[in-house]
């Protein structure tokens, strides 16, 4: 089916292919450069990744009053019974050294004099969240990692419209297919091992804080290659995205509430005390459901985040990116409460891996948000995502070295080129309405039936069609797993099963070769 569509390039084989140029991908590439030639492929541009948009910070037990054991405890508590304890131990235990290494490589975190500044965010028991330039932490870490990676001559970078498929031969991954910028032909890239570090899937939903590139391509391509997908039903919805007409759903960081911002309804009343004892510092899923509940109770289209009580000049100094962006759209946070609405933000599940980021498909690895390592369980602890990218990106790089010099089988081919006959906007609306913050079995079952009935047809491929295919595959996986998980746990809330059930304190697993959802 790809015949005549793929074109060769003069140099199409690398020792290692890293798909994604965010924190996880860059950190893996640095580790891999010691063992062979590395190609890092970015979707769209090297600057467009979820890492670049990560405002909240990076959590690490480095302050004088903190301990790794406390960070571990908080992460396990947020995960609501589904964290892999060994994965959490690796994350928090290797975190301090990973941060110190970032600082050695030039990452500049906020300080008071010579001392690092640690902030507190929801569900953390200590001040342990580092920031850079207030609200540009992900961008700063990515900058430092890119600078380090670019200094290593064995690492090369290329941008494509998208990596659309994995090449598979004899049950092993042998490379990937990339759609070039013109979206009219594709390039086959061979590699001895491939890392999926493609980021999130927020653009499956109508309302999202994610950049436009976050269409779930890594999960979809992994699924099509036979990789197991785990815990994909656990999608975290950030409670406070900017809700202004004509403005993007810009993330208003949880750090704002950590610093003392209030949530108010249209009557100016602080309402979180009705929903949780921690009020504004409750876990994200609780705050998101509380906002939805208050909107339904009052009939309002949004709630408000109030920062007007902060000291003059504080917001512009502490959160310059957020403050300036809101001003750009006519909102002065120092003088006016910000209208907010929940939006899809982060996927806890994804391509299932072991502690070294190996998948069930030989030569295929996954790290960062695209992966399901077991770190986040049913609900991610705030600011653990950047740390996961750094720690598990390094782990992936070390593990992938085992394939250095071992060429994959020849004759690899991608799956058939078939695309869904579906309206992209309608698909995202269905995801939001039927598979969003509040879920119910009847609606999930209807959504699954509707998605299963979609016709798949041949078409001239381009970026939009590839992304539509990815969103359709990912939404169907989320809906199917959400339907079978008949309980409420973490970020997955079933109105018809509002309690946790012990028989579901297990991980969902689904794959192309074992198409029924199982639990383990």
Q: Domain with 437 in it: what CATH number?
A: 1.20.58.100
What value does the mean pLDDT take over residues 316-335?
94
| 179 and 117 part of one domain | yes
Q: Are residues 275 and 387 in the same domain?
A: no
198 & 314 share domain:
no
Q: Are 132 and 58 in contact (CB under 8 A)?
A: no
* pLDDT greater than 70 at residue 363: yes
Is there a single domain that holds both residue 173 and residue 257?
Answer: no
Residue 482 · residue 439 · CB < 8 Å: yes
Q: What is the pLDDT of residues 396-449, one digit of tens each?
A: 999 999 999 998 888 887 778 899 999 999 999 999 999 999 999 999 999 999
> Beta partners for 281?
none
Residues 297 and 442 grouped into a single domain: no
- The pTM assigned to this predicted structure is 0.92
Q: Which two tokens stand for residue 27?
A: 């950190």
Averaged confidence pLDDT in the chain: 92
Average of per-residue pLDDT across 259-287: 93
Asked if 352 and 340 sit in the same domain, the reply is: no
List helix spans (H) across 283-374: 284-298, 314-318, 320-328
At residue 55, the pLDDT reads 52
Residue 122 lies in a domain: yes
pLDDT at 120: 83
Which percentage of the chain shows pLDDT scores above 90?
A: 81
**CATH no. for residue 359?**
3.50.50.60
Yes or no: say if 235 and 491 are a contact pair by the CB < 8 Å rule. Answer: yes
DSSP string, 41-75: EEES-TT-SGGGG--S-EE-S-STT--HHHHHHHH
- Among the listed ranges 298-307, 366-375, 455-464, which one has the minimum average pLDDT value? 455-464
**Stretch (H or E) spanning 392:** helix 385-400
Cα–Cα distance measured from residue 27 to residue 197, given in angstroms and rounded to the nearest whole number: 10
Instruction: Tell whether 1 is covered by a domain.
Output: no
From 322, 344, 366, the end of a domain falls on 344
One domain, residues 108 and 166: yes
C-alpha–C-alpha distance, residues 175 and 237, integer Å: 33
Question: Rounded to the nearest 5 degrees, what angle is found at the Cα of 338, between the Cα atoms of 334 and 343?
Answer: 140
Same domain, 356 and 286: no
Alpha-carbon gap, residue 204 to 232, rounded angstroms: 12
Same domain, 290 and 321: yes
Span of 54-63, 109-118, 335-344, 450-459 with lowest mean pLDDT: 54-63
Catalytic residue, chosen from 284, 289, 358, 489, is 284
- The reply to whether 275 falls in a domain is yes
C-alpha distances in Å from residue 31, one per residue of 111, 145, 394: 28, 11, 6
Q: Are residues 397 and 424 in the same domain?
A: no
The DSSP secondary structure of 483-500, one letter per residue, reads: HH--S-BTTB-BTTB-S-
Residues 218, 258 share a domain: no
Range of the domain at 17: 6-233+348-403
Alpha-carbon Rg for the chain in angstroms:
22
Confidence tier at 45 by pLDDT (50, 70, 90)? low
Residue 363 bears catalytic tag:
no
Integer Cα distance of 518 and 514 in angstroms: 9
Predicted local distance difference test score (pLDDT) of residue 8? 46
| 510 domain residue, yes or no | no
Q: Among the residues of 418-499, which ranges form H helices?
A: 424-434, 441-452, 463-484
Q: Give 111-172 as a DSSP string.
A: EETTEEPEE--TT-SS--EE-STTT-HHHHHHHHHHHHHHTSTTEEEEEESEEEEEEEETTE
User: pLDDT for 75-113, tens place per residue?
Assistant: 999 999 999 999 999 999 999 999 999 999 999 999 999
* Cα–Cα distance measured from residue 273 to residue 326, given in angstroms and rounded to the nearest whole number: 27
pLDDT in tens, 218-249: 999 999 999 999 999 999 999 999 999 889 88
Please report how the helices 68-78 and 85-104 are oriented relative to each other, as an axis angle in degrees rounded to 10.
130
* pLDDT over threshold 70, residue 9: no
The verdict on residue 35 lying in a domain is yes
Q: Are residues 98 and 182 in the same domain?
A: yes
Helix-strand-coil split of the chain, %, nearest 5: 35, 20, 45
Identify whether 519 is part of a domain.
no
- Give the confidence band of 215 by pLDDT, cuts at 50, 70, 90: very high
Angle of helix 463-484 relative to helix 217-224, nearest 10 degrees, comes to: 80
Q: Which residue has the higher pLDDT, 2 or 446?
A: 446
How many domains does the structure of the chain reveal?
Answer: 3
Q: Is residue 145 part of a domain?
A: yes
CA-CA-CA-CA torsion sign (408, 409, 411, 412): negative
């Amino acid at each position: 089916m790809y015949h005549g569509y793929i074109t060769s390039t003069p140099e199409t084989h690398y020792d290692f292919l890293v798909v994604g140029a965010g924190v996880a991908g860059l950190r893996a590439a640095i580790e891999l450069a010691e063992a062979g030639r590395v190609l890092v492929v970015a979707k769209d541009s090297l600057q467009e990744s979820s890492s670049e948009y990560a405002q909240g910070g990076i959590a690490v037990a480095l302050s004088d009053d903190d301990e790794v054991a406390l960070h571990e405890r908080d992460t396990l508590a947020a995960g609501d019974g589904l964290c892999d304890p060994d994965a959490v131990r690796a994350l928090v235990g290797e975190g301090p050294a990973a941060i110190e290494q970032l600082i050695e490589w030039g990452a500049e975190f906020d300080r008071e004099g010579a001392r690092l500044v640690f902030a507190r965010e929801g569900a953390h028991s200590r001040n342990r969240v580092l920031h850079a330039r207030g609200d540009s932490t992900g961008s700063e870490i990515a900058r430092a990692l890119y600078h380090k990676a670019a200094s290593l001559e064995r690492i090369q970078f290329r941008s494509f419209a998208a990596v659309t498929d994995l090449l598979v031969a004899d049950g092993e991954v042998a490379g990937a297919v990339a759609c070039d910028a013109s979206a009219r032909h594709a390039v086959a890239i061979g590699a001895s091992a491939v890392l999926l570090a493609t980021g999130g899937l927020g653009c499956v939903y109508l309302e999202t804080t994610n950049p436009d590139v976050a269409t779930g391509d890594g999960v979809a391509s992994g699924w099509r290659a036979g990789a197991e997908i785990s815990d994909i039903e656990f999608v975290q919805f950030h409670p406070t995205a900017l809700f202004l007409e004509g403005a993007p759903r810009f993330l208003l960081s949880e750090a704002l509430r950590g610093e003392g911002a209030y949530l108010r309804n249209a009557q100016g009343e602080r309402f979180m005390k009705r929903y949780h004892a921690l009020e504004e510092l409750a876990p994200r899923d609780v705050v998101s459901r509380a906002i939805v509940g208050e909107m339904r109770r009052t009939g309002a289209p949004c709630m408000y985040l109030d920062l007007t009580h902060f000291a003059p000049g504080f917001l512009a100094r502490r959160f310059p990116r957020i403050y300036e962006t809101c001003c750009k759209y006519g909102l002065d946070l120092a003088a006016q409460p910000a209208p907010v609405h929940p939006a899809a933000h982060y996927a806890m599940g994804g391509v299932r891996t072991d502690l070294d980021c190996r998948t069930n498909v030989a030569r295929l690895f996954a790290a960062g948000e695209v992966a399901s390592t077991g770190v986040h369980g049913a609900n991610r602890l705030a600011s653990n995502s950047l740390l996961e990218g750094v720690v598990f990106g390094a782990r992936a790089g070390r593990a992938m070295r085992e394939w250095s010099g071992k060429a994959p089988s020849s004759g690899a081919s991608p799956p058939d080129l078939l695309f869904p006959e579906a309206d992209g906007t309608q698909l995202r609306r269905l995801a939001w309405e039927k598979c969003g913050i509040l879920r119910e079995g009847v609606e999930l079952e209807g959504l699954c039936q509707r998605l299963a009935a979609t016709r798949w047809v041949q078409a001239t491929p381009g970026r939009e069609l590839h992304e539509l295919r990815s969103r359709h595959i990912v939404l169907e996986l989320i809906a199917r797993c959400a339907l079978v998980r008949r309980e409420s746990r973490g970020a997955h809330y079933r109105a018809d099963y509002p309690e946790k059930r012990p028989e579901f304190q297990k991980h969902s697993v689904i794959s192309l070769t074992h198409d029924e959802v199982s639990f383990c």
